[in-house]
Structure 1
Amino acid sequence: MKPSTKAIRFLETLQIPQGPSAGTPLKLAPFQKQFVKGALADGVDVGVLSIGRGNAKTALSSGIALGALLGVWDNQPAREILIAARTRDQARIAWDFAAQFSWSLPDEIQQRLTFRRSPRLEIEYEDENGSHVLRGIAADGKSALGTAPNLVLMDERGHWPQDQGDALEQALLSGLGKRGGRALIISTSASDDTHPFSKWIDEEQAGVCVQEHRPAPGLPADDRASLIEANPGAKYGIGADIQWLEGQARRAIARGGSTLTSFRLYNRNERVSGETRDVLLTVDEWLACETADPPPREGHCVIGIDLGGSASMTAAAFYWPETGHLKVQGSFPANPSLADRGSGDGVHGRYIEMEQRGELSTLGDKTVPVAPWLVEIMRQVQGETVTAIVADRFKQAELSEAAAAAGVTCPIIWRGMGFRDGGEDAERFRRAAFDGKVKTAPSLLLRSAFADTVCLRDPANNIKIAKARSKGRIDAASATVLAVAEGARQVATPDTEARFICL
């Protein structure tokens, strides 16, 4: 009999230990059976499950851990089962499920179990093959050194501390090889593509079975079909029902901000930042700026520029304040390739997709040559009335020389990116976005940039924009803020300056 078949039969002999259905026999839903069959299949040593909060992923995995402790499908001597989580209290949740599931075991098996809650979380099982132990540990790599587990459960892997979590994962996986063990890695989605849990899902690997319940991005938070996709247990009485989820979605939409972001991350299982500090715009606030039918390019144009170096992107934002039309173009040097850059920045094929959509291009070799790039930028608004180019004063000398070489005659406005100029520009941009004065076609470039853009505050509560992660590329967002803020200033002040038409 296959290990997965033995595991499913064992799990369905248990009783639900808590909740409204406590005391009733456990009956696995189809998506749960799918995970057990995949994770315990021949040739698989890592099973990965990503699903919305409340769909019994921890309970299911804890039941599997109990079965491994009892040797239901692997009767090796001196078995060791490890439950790893972010903190000891988090590990105790899974440990408690395993302990409570044991209450429905036959009396002769229960008599062989010993439970210890201090100093370690342990369940010890004695049989004819010796002593076997199930242990709960926190995300500290040192606590797993020297172990040789038959099964490892990594609970909520997408939310472990980056450094400690990576160290623990490596220690656990290296220990599995000693016994031919398996790992169950379960979590709601991590906040971005760079997280190791996201890489387990995105990078195809031999011996890894992945089951992900994540809806397509950009859908309304209360979209019923995608809520069911992220929460398949709702159809089978597992966790919250769909009416409750829809009610929570509507409340999150009404509150907005971090409440809505958290709902998308945990309940919709979307890969969005759960950062509660200030973001420039939340996912939903930016999606409100996207439209399939952007307004026409009418009136004068303002161009915002963010010059990059060899690693960062160079970006230009074109904004027509009279209609709110926005268009943004990014550029990278050709060396290294976009595929290599995407791998290094932890976004995989996103840069290639941006290039295919016409939002990103390559120019030059190791760096983007500023003068030729500026010529190409001005060519895109040929015949348009350009009132100003707005740029960071930190690159004033470089851009001034390039503008002279490219024959650019329109005025250049220099802005700081600190708390003074940057704070004003960020607030003007936010106001314009909230008032519906920023409209653009759906842009993967801008979605990616704003997802990585957060606001820092000084003691006087002034803000400036910054990266949410070290490898984030927020150049397109910076250029957009500069262009939209200057456009808002021009609309708010009398039209006394000369305007320049690009020939």
Structure 2
Amino acid sequence: MSIVIRKKPKNPFPEIPDPFGYGQRAVDFIRSLKHPLSTRPDNAFPLDPWAEKIIRQIYGPRHPDGTRIVKTAVLLVPRGNRKTTLTGAITLLHAKGPERRPGAQLVSVAVDKKQAKGVFKEVAGMIDGDYAFAPNIGNSAKTVDEARGAKIRDYVSKIVFPGGIEYEALASDAGTAQGRTPSLIIADEIHAWLKRDPRELWGAMRAGAAKVANSLTVVTTTAGAGQENLAFDVIDYARKVARGEIHDPATLPILFETPRDADWKDEAVWHAANPGLKHGYPDLEGLRQMAREAEHKPAERSIFQRYHLNIWQDHSTAPFVDMADYDRGAEPFYLEDLAGEPCWLAVDLSSNRDLTVVVAAWRHPDHDDGYIVHPWFFCPKDNLQRKADLDGVPYPLWAEEGFIEPTPGNVVDFRAVEDTIRDLCERFEVREIAFDPHLARNMMNTLRDEGYPAIEMRQGWVTMAPAIKELERAIVAGRFQHGGHPVLRWNFDNIAVETDKAGNKAFHKGKSRDRIDGAVAAAMAVARAAAGEGSAPSIFDDPNVTAADLVW
């Protein structure tokens, strides 16, 4: 009889610290799991090298006392790379494996009930897989739950493990996060969480986890759209950690994303963004077919780039400009430096729901064909959080940081807007104050009576098409400096463009709850600045222009 001595598998990632062997311990446990869809012998869990590296990065590095260094892992990976399978294994590592702690609460949060159930079934399926391949345990157990080593309660998406450990799969719109103290949070597809502003849910879960020693949050998501949302905040922070701009050893960035200027049709780019491709998933032929269709369908191209290459998208499906071009103007500037420069103001007054904004425009001192703009936004103070939930943006945070001014009551107090305009006229060399008279007749007349240079500029095709064209030219040429104001950027990102047969463009909201007021006012201000020193005649002085020409 010969004796075969099996050598312990060599760690393929010696560069990842593992002083206590906890990374190897985690890998060994996950490899012992059974997955019902695995094609490997005995349905062994398919822990491919890219996923094994992630496990070692999370669980290997430790403080001298043995506690885990990584507290948050952010995994940005395209669809089809089996991230849900990986997070299911991580959940069992904390429920049945060496990371378990008596009485621990383990939570996964997905987009809706259907997706939450999918994450739950992934975990439950692996528990059943262990039971199916352990007949000796099954024969000696009195109940199925005893054989499984867990009580699976499918109707409430909950699993109870020995030692009082509970796992529950929640939907992002469930509203049941308060009062929990999870030691493990799996945040799945946060770009699509259904609460209008999911920061409240995120904050509640994280606050609960902060009460538990050695807690872990694992974010798994594909790319989203826009920048005024929780998902972008989380991913952008991880990017800054990855680039070394922020020193935070407790955050592990794992970002499989594609640069916006990459050749999206290049299969080498696909492999770089999809770590599972070399192992047979997602389906390469399926990606090729989608890419062929995307070449001729712009909407399909956006979907392919977002979900399969992790290229973060603009918010609008019919954008005014590439937001990467817009962001070139984010370099900060000081308003005090513009005190002696000619200035043009544009005012967009709101209905009850929209924002009110005053935008100032200056000719750029370094570029004859460029502009500097700065906005002052106003919104009602009452129900500010409700408005944030409705629009899906952080109004309270913007107000706190001075990017928006809430006025008392449930509608914008136009007196505050008037006072701001008067103050700007005192601070700067204001040549014109352009109003769409639709809601502004009273304010415009009041300011005129006080000697301020208020003019009419209706938001119709005749006036706005040239204004939009000049604004577009400045942005594309990199001659539009806005200082990175977040509310103004959100407004620009919301624009959906309508083009007539003559090629004239008009701004529209992408969705009914989107706000574009700042972008409209910016176009008005730039147009008046482009006209010169205030001597250019108003469109309303042209006898050939009829009232019908001025309708948007």
Q: For this structure pair, what is the TM-score category when the shorter chain's length is used for normalisation?
A: 0.5 to 0.7
Indicate if the aligned counterparts of 2:177 and 2:201 stay in contact, CA closer than 8 A.
yes
Matched, 1:184 2:209: no
Match in the other structure for 1:261: 302
Task: Give the Cα–Cα distance (whole angstroms) in 1 for the partners of residues 39 and 465 of structure 2.
Answer: 48
- The within-5 A match list for 1:449-468 is 452-455=493-496, 464-466=507-509
The SS at the match of 2:198 is helix
Partner of 1:64: 90
Pick the aligned partner of 1:49 from 61, 68, 75. 75
Could you say what secondary structure the match of 2:313 adopts? coil
Q: Which residue identity lines up with residue 78 of structure 1 in the other structure?
A: G
- Match for 1:474: what amino acid? A
2:274 aligns with 231
1:64 and 1:247 map into 2 onto residues whose CA distance is: 33
How far apart are 1:331 and its partner, in Å? 4.1
Q: Post-superposition shift, 1:267?
A: 2.3
TM-score (norm 1): 0.63
Q: CA offsets per residue over residues 71-102 of structure 1, 9 Å max, x none?
A: x1224223332111121111111111112223
Q: 1:172 maps to which residue?
A: 205
Q: Which amino acid aligns with 1:18?
A: L
**How many Å separate the matches in 1 of 2:493 and 2:514?**
7
CA offsets per residue over residues 286-306 of structure 1, 9 Å max, x none?
97xx9xxxxxxxxxxxx9985
Conservation of the 8 A alpha-carbon contact between 2:348 and 2:436: no
State how far apart, in whole Å, the 1-side matches of 2:493 and 2:183 are: 39
- Match of 2:276, SS state, is helix
Partner amino acid, structure 2, of 1:117: D
Q: Structure 2 matches for 1:137-156, cutoff 5 A? A: 137-140=170-173, 142-156=175-189
Q: Give the Cα separation in 1 of the matches to 2:158 and 2:479.
A: 51
Alignment RMSD: 5.3
Query: Which residue matches 1:281?
Result: 320
Aligned counterpart, 2:413: none
CA distance in 2, matches of 1:173, 1:282: 36
Contact 1:39 1:184 in 2 (8 A): no
Secondary structure, in 3 states, of the residue corresponding to 1:239? Answer: coil
- Give the structure 2 partner of residue 121 of structure 1: 157
Alignment of 1:76 with 2:101, yes or no, is yes
Aligned-partner Cα distance in 2 for 1:454–1:22? 53
Percent pairwise identity: 17
Contact 2:226 2:493 in 1 (8 A): no
Distance apart, 1:478 and its partner CA? 3.0
Candidates 149, 174, 180, aligned match of 1:112: 149
Distance in 2 separating the partners of 1:155 and 1:169: 12
Establish whether residue 314 from structure 1 lines up as the match of residue 373 from structure 2: no
Cα distance in 2 between the residues matched to 1:478 and 1:317: 14
Structure with greater Cα Rg:
2
Q: How does 1:81-480 map to 2 (within 5 A)?
A: 81-105=106-130, 106-107=133-134, 108=137, 110-118=147-155, 120-126=156-162, 130-140=163-173, 142-162=175-195, 165-180=198-213, 181-203=215-237, 204=246, 207-241=250-284, 244-257=286-299, 259-273=300-314, 279-281=318-320, 283=322, 306=346, 313-315=359-361, 329-331=372-374, 392=436, 415-417=457-459, 421=460, 440-441=476-477, 448=489, 452-455=493-496, 464-466=507-509, 474=519, 478-479=523-524
Closer, same or farther: CA 157–2 of 1 in aligned 2, 3 Å: farther
> In 2 relative to 1, CA 369–59 (structure 1 residues): closer, same or farther, beyond 3 Å?
farther
Assess if the C-alpha contact under 8 Å between 2:77 and 2:256 holds in 1. Answer: yes
CA contact (8 A) 1:304 1:317 kept: no
| 8 A contact 2:424–2:430 mirrored in 1 | no
Q: Distance in 2 between matches of 1:480 and 1:256?
A: 32
> 5+ residue gaps in structure 1?
291-302, 319-324, 334-342, 349-363, 378-388, 406-411, 487-495, 498-503
Displacement of 1:172 after TM fit? 2.0
Whole-angstrom CA distance in 2 between matches of 1:169 and 1:56: 23
Q: Could you report, residue by residue, the CA deviation over 1:292-328 in whole angstroms, capped at 9, with x for unpaired residues?
A: xxxxxxxxxxx9985689976434799xxxxxx9855
Deviations 1:239-270, CA, capped at 9 Å, x for gaps: 233x543542342342214x333333322222
How many angstroms apart in 1 are the aligned matches of 2:479 and 2:119? 41
Question: C-alpha separation between the residues in 1 aligned to 2:497 and 2:473?
Answer: 24
Alpha-carbon distance change, 247 to 140 in structure 1, aligned in 2, over 3 angstroms? closer
Q: Which residue of structure 2 lines up, in the alignment, with residue 336 of structure 1?
A: none
User: How many Å separate the matches in 2 of 1:369 and 1:21?
Assistant: 74
- Residue by residue over 1:325-359, the C-alpha shift from the partner in whole angstroms, topping out at 9 and shown as x without a partner, is 985543469xxxxxxxxx9669x9xxxxxxxxxxx
2:222/2:310 contact within 8 Å kept: yes
